[in-house]
Structure 1
Amino acid sequence: MATSTSGFIKQCEQEALHLTGAIQPHGAVLVLDHEHQVTHASVNIGEIWRGDAKSYLGKAVPPQLRGLLQQYSGERIYFAAELVRKDDFLDVVFSPLPAGGIVIELVPTQREGRVPSAMNRFPEVIKSDDEVRHYQQLLITYIAELTKATRVMYYEFLATGDGEVTAEAKHEQAQGSFFQLRFPASDIPQIARRLYLRNPWRAIYDAHADAVPLVSADDLPVPDLTHAELRSVSPVHLHYLCNMGVRASVSWPIAGKDELLALISLHHDEPRVLDYGMLRHISELVKAYNFALRDFRSQQRIQIHERMQNQFKYFHQQLLNRDDRELYWQEMLDWLMREFACDGVLIETPQQTLKAGLEIEPETQELIIEHLENQGEQAWFSDNLLKDLPQIDLTAIAGVAVLTNVLAPDHEVAFFALRHAHMHEVMWGGRPDKPDENQDPDVPISPRRSFEKWVEMRYSNSKPWEQNTLIKLMKLRLLLNEI
């Protein structure tokens, strides 16, 4: 099933989220160039601090900020209660512009009180998948208790790009549960995922508030607000939050080497601003969990490599020492079926074809190889072959993990792991293929209105491939090269 309309995905991916030219009204912004001259100011700076936006343009940074500016070294830096207002104070945040220059953000100081220590609250090492889930629940429960949030979720991205809530903590008055529900990939498009990777958190203070524009003296291009705390929010995302009944949110990223693995998302049903110290405290805990998770996944990969290496070493010795080649190959094929948890395997070389269990049609095999050649890929897997390769008319294969163009010493080798269809239910947070059409020209398509559980029956899918399938395929490529 398509998890959203192509028009919705296209609109989301084309939004220049970092070039909105506006901020959230919770604070005010000054943008400086390389020479520390003000190029842009938010029109609300007089409400937040003092003066008129145009009075700052083309001038040096205000004197009250020059001492702080001397401490800026190119990375985000935060100063608590540095500017005095009539009845309270302003925090000051310096962040880099990607092309050079500085964003200065002025935000009202929050007084949350002492943030408790989390020392010894969470383990430093994760040793199993069960501990991963336990750690997730422990972390989001702590965040929910600390922030008094309506709901906190651990939102994990699947290999398909869709997301699934794998842990949830919520206030007793919160309506419903999103635990174990999936959400389509278009809910968080790739352009937004890249921004999450570049910041320690993303806060939205009030989804009902109007954005505040930035102005410049000479109609300069809008600045890149990638790293700005106050960067305004996509209209599509605001519709999404309102449809969920969410008024304020904060999200912390869980990152792999160069990809977004998950988000820890906090929701409030009223406008809410968290103290910067609390945001940073939670960010440090999230980073600690992220480090432990990456270390555990790294150890898992090492174990996969070692296990497959030892198994192939055994088979190589058997190949040299045994006369019965047929039994040797059968033993190897049986092992590959167990390793990939599949219903059939195929190893094909110009000299021979080895197969066991479920078989693949020659025309289907050719179309898959052609697809990989067109994509310039050596390894690929799918749990819905007819959906991912619609040019295939009919096949008994529902899922495939394939490795091609393995340059062994004397020949090329292709490997196929095959799976039958497996009827199962997938629980979604609202029907994923039903975004609402909208008459608003600025938001022609908005997210679906309902997020109640909707069950999809899948008949043509295989069981989903495991997270480490691609790692196994690439290790197998190295091993087959040694034959």
Structure 2
Amino acid sequence: MQNYKNHKVDLSNCDSEPIHIIGRIQPHGFLIILNSSSLIVEQLSENVEYYLGVKPEVLFGKTLDTICSAEEYQKLEKQLRNDPIISPQLVTIRDKHFFGFAHLSANKIILECEAYTPTDEYERLENYCSFSHFQSKINTLYSLESLSELLVNFVQEYLNYDRVLLYVFDKEWNGEVIAEKTKPGIGSYLYQHFPSSDIPAPARDLLTKKPIRQIPDISASAIDIVPYVNLADGAPTNIIQSELRNASEIHLEYLANMGVQASLSITLMVKGKLWGLITCHHQSPKFVDFWKRQMCYMASKTFSAAVLTNQEKRDLQTLAYYKQMEEVLVEQVNATGSVSKGLFKQHFTLLDITESQGAAIYIENTLTTTGNTPAADQVMEIIEWLIANNNASIFYTRELSKHIPQADAYRQNASGLLALEISRYNKSYILFFKPEIKETRIWAGNPEKPIAGDGMRVHPRKSFSKWVEDIRGKSVPWTMNELEVTQLLLKDMVAILLRNHADKLKELNDELLTKSEELKVKNNRLEDFAYIITHNLRSPLSNIRGLYAHYQASPNQETGSEVMGRMNLMINNMSDTIDDLNTILKTANEQQLQQEAVSVADVINKEKQNILTEPQAEITTELFVTQLNIPKVYIESIVHNLLSNALKYSSPDRKPIIKVKTWLEHDKLYLTVSDNGLGMNLNKMGHKLFGLYKTFHRNKDSKGLGLYLTRMQVEALGGKISAESEPDKGTTFTVELSASLGCSFNVGP
């Protein structure tokens, strides 16, 4: 019988081989399948007679007390009903001692026994010292190469196999021998590769469940489990975790083609995942007892822990460096105010946070690149492909031509791609590139599946001679560190862009508010203009119409002379009003006048010469700000209006004294003009003080235009004007401006 009833396996279906229901075991032990509740024997291997001296049919449907002494069965029952079942244990049946391996499978107990080999104290001490030395040595090593060499040397010396090799898996489950220890004359597989089909998925799954697997003799006749179908369940029993389960016939043929007669494999797990194998080969049959198998298993666990520790240590150091560089890049972006400049045009660039050799960013319809990258049109081709085909915020591959066939043309620049999506809508991406690696891979034989042999059965390959393959179109893989730090970069860049957009929106909103205030001011001026037109123009026009009607009623020379005289007076008043309007409009249009350094003292002296007609009047100054960076026409107009206003409303009872003062306080610049004139009651008229055509004392030269224009000019400079006054005590006008307008100072108060 084969391993299965009515099922044949070859390379065409080995990926789905049901190895859990193999119906045979290896002959170096025996197997009994018991009902977990009653402990009744339901199946067993045909070789029980060789080990126990009883025929299989004697045990069917019975418990083992049929052949055990009462003391043996009492102990055995206790061992089998222990929760959980301890395995292995020393099992005694019919005065014979065995290593007993027991485990539950559904509602069955699988009991397997192999010969017990006692060890003396000297041998145990020697084994302990050997392993202790291995542990001490492994703690002093840090490279994977040195750790691997230590492991294969220890296993080979301890187990004395012809060949011991360390076999590791890549991401596609191909294998590579990275360390090896052989006896003289034994062929080497060091640094050679094996295709994933050599260890198919069911076998890899088994390696994670059964970490130690021994085949003492591949030519030994397998022993059938009878019956193959469990009569109680109507199906074969799952023996996937069996210690003795016969190997796949494909695997046995594979070993025979390699010239191997005995093998032992020990699984290496790192971070809970299948990482590799310790594989032992011997050219003649070889059995290794439990004690030695277990010692090597402990060595494999120690090795896996050392690999994990060193890998994590290297990963953490690299990740810490990458994160530090990422923080520097963020600082550069913030300092320059530009993502492109901060990532590409400073001392550190995107190339400092990965092992990539080129990088690009496409943002705001602009492409920026650095290092070894595809051409600009090829980069845009990649971005268009990402937009159309990738929904994730990050995409990475080490073989870009698999996704974009035309990328084969630029594989020297970009076989590897890591893409970060900033905004698909705006076509904004950050791209990292890795070039094609120049790699020659040596396979242990042609990795392609062989053709059918005799009888159309597909056999495993027979040749393990070196077969060289040139690797094309692939880059060095992207590491977890690279993926983690670039995702961190993406998060920070998106945050910066969102912040910048928020700032821009705030600027636009502030600008809108400013424009709104300006419109409000202009609307107020329009209201003033409307008032002027309504009050100062419409009224004279009505009077002119009335005079014209009067003349029509009495069209004589006397009436004509009267009408023409009065009309001339009205026309002059209307002309004055139009002149005032032109002055106001000119002031409004001069808000963007050029700034220049203006001496405050020179402006005051000029105004003294122009307006000082009263010999008794006195104008003094106290200037702590001596120069202003300001449109000259504005400061001259402001000083003129305030000084002329002080003189115009001086008191007839005392000498006019006017004081002009400037100073700097905190972030404000102040200019005041104080007088001892008539003053005014601000409680009554303060709200009208800076209105158009508002006068508060009788004076033939008063029009109410100067203070209105002064307020317009101060506000155009971003400042404000206020007044303090009391009747018959004088008035002080205060102009408050930004300190940035001051450009020369004396020691202030």
Q: Read off the aligned partner of 1:67 and give its amino acid letter.
A: K
2:16 to 4, 14, 17: 14
2:190 to 179, 184, 188: 179
> Deviation at 1:234?
0.9
1:465 corresponding residue in structure 2: 477
Cα deviation digits, residues 203-250 of structure 1 (max 9, x gap): 112112233222234463222222111111111111110110111111
1:190 to 201, 209, 217: 201
**How many angstroms apart in 1 are the aligned matches of 2:146 and 2:325?**
32
After TM superposition, the structure 1 = structure 2 runs for residues 58-457 of structure 1, keeping only pairs within 5 Å, are: 58-62=61-65, 63=68, 64=72, 66-71=74-79, 72-74=82-84, 77-80=87-90, 82-83=92-93, 89-97=97-105, 99-110=106-117, 114-115=123-124, 116-117=127-128, 118-123=131-136, 130=143, 132-174=144-186, 176-214=187-225, 215=227, 216-218=230-232, 220-323=234-337, 326-330=340-344, 335-348=349-362, 353-356=367-370, 357-359=372-374, 360-367=378-385, 373=391, 378-382=394-398, 384-386=399-401, 388-389=402-403, 392=406, 394-397=408-411, 399-404=415-420, 414-439=429-454, 444-457=457-470
For the 8 Å contact 1:244–1:449, the answer to whether it is kept is yes
Higher Rg = 2
Question: Considering only aligned residues, what root-mean-square deviation do their CA atoms show, in Å?
Answer: 3.3
Q: Read off the aligned partner of 1:269 and give its amino acid letter.
A: Q
What stretches of structure 1 of length at least 5 have no aligned partner? Answer: 1-6
> Deviation at 1:290?
1.0
**How many angstroms apart in 2 are the aligned matches of 1:412 and 1:103?**
62
Q: Read off the aligned partner of 1:180 and give its amino acid letter.
A: Y
**How many angstroms apart in 1 are the aligned matches of 2:10 and 2:417?**
29
Q: Read off the aligned partner of 2:53 and give its amino acid letter.
A: R
* Structure 1 range deviating more: 205-214 or 319-328: 319-328
**How many angstroms apart in 1 are the aligned matches of 2:429 and 2:317?**
24
> Deviation at 1:44?
2.0
How many residue pairs end up in the alignment?
Answer: 462
Residue identity (%): 22
Distance 1:348 1:104, change over 3 A: farther
Q: Read off the aligned partner of 2:324 and give its amino acid letter.
A: N
> Deviation at 1:405?
5.3
**How many angstroms apart in 1 are the aligned matches of 2:282 and 2:140?**
33
Distance 1:407 1:293, change over 3 A: farther
1:28 corresponding residue in structure 2: 30
Q: Read off the aligned partner of 2:22 and give its amino acid letter.
A: T
SS of the residue 2:487 aligns to: helix
Distance 1:52 1:447, change over 3 A: same
SS of the residue 1:380 aligns to: strand
For the 8 Å contact 1:136–1:154, the answer to whether it is kept is yes
> Deviation at 1:188?
1.1
> Deviation at 1:430?
1.0
**How many angstroms apart in 2 are the aligned matches of 1:280 and 1:135?**
20
**How many angstroms apart in 2 are the aligned matches of 1:456 and 1:12?**
25
Tell me the TM-score normalised to structure 2 length.
0.56
Cα deviation digits, residues 365-386 of structure 1 (max 9, x gap): 555676655xx8954322x433
**How many angstroms apart in 2 are the aligned matches of 1:95 and 1:407?**
56
For the 8 Å contact 1:22–1:213, the answer to whether it is kept is yes
* Structure 1 range deviating more: 47-56 or 410-419: 410-419
> Deviation at 1:73?
3.1
SS of the residue 1:445 aligns to: coil
SS of the residue 1:292 aligns to: helix
**How many angstroms apart in 2 are the aligned matches of 1:65 and 1:378?**
63
**How many angstroms apart in 1 are the aligned matches of 2:323 and 2:389?**
29
**How many angstroms apart in 2 are the aligned matches of 1:150 and 1:472?**
41
**How many angstroms apart in 1 are the aligned matches of 2:132 and 2:23?**
41
> Deviation at 1:436?
4.4
**How many angstroms apart in 2 are the aligned matches of 1:190 and 1:179?**
24
> Deviation at 1:59?
2.8
Distance 1:438 1:414, change over 3 A: farther
**How many angstroms apart in 2 are the aligned matches of 1:65 and 1:366?**
75
Distance 1:324 1:413, change over 3 A: closer
For the 8 Å contact 2:332–2:346, the answer to whether it is kept is no
> Deviation at 1:429?
0.9
For the 8 Å contact 1:318–1:328, the answer to whether it is kept is yes
For the 8 Å contact 2:138–2:150, the answer to whether it is kept is no
Q: Read off the aligned partner of 2:445 and give its amino acid letter.
A: G
> Deviation at 1:362?
3.9
Cα deviation digits, residues 423-443 of structure 1 (max 9, x gap): 3321111111152423357xx
**How many angstroms apart in 2 are the aligned matches of 1:50 and 1:372?**
68
**How many angstroms apart in 1 are the aligned matches of 2:373 and 2:432?**
9
* Structure 1 range deviating more: 338-347 or 272-281: 338-347
Greater relative CO (CA pairs within 8 A, separation 6+): 1
For the 8 Å contact 1:96–1:227, the answer to whether it is kept is no
> Deviation at 1:140?
0.9
SS of the residue 1:446 aligns to: coil
**Residue 53 (1) aligns with residue 53 (2):** no
For the 8 Å contact 1:346–1:417, the answer to whether it is kept is yes
> Deviation at 1:350?
7.4
For the 8 Å contact 2:11–2:460, the answer to whether it is kept is no
For the 8 Å contact 2:15–2:201, the answer to whether it is kept is yes
Give the structure with the higher percent helix.
2
> Deviation at 1:95?
2.3
Distance 1:339 1:318, change over 3 A: closer
* Structure 1 range deviating more: 148-157 or 250-259: 250-259
Distance 1:107 1:452, change over 3 A: same
For the 8 Å contact 1:48–1:106, the answer to whether it is kept is no
> Deviation at 1:163?
0.8
Distance 1:392 1:146, change over 3 A: same
For the 8 Å contact 1:157–1:261, the answer to whether it is kept is yes
Tell me the TM-score normalised to structure 1 length.
0.84
For the 8 Å contact 1:156–1:163, the answer to whether it is kept is yes
1:480 to 486, 490, 498: 490
Q: Read off the aligned partner of 2:448 and give its amino acid letter.
A: D
Q: Read off the aligned partner of 2:294 and give its amino acid letter.
A: R
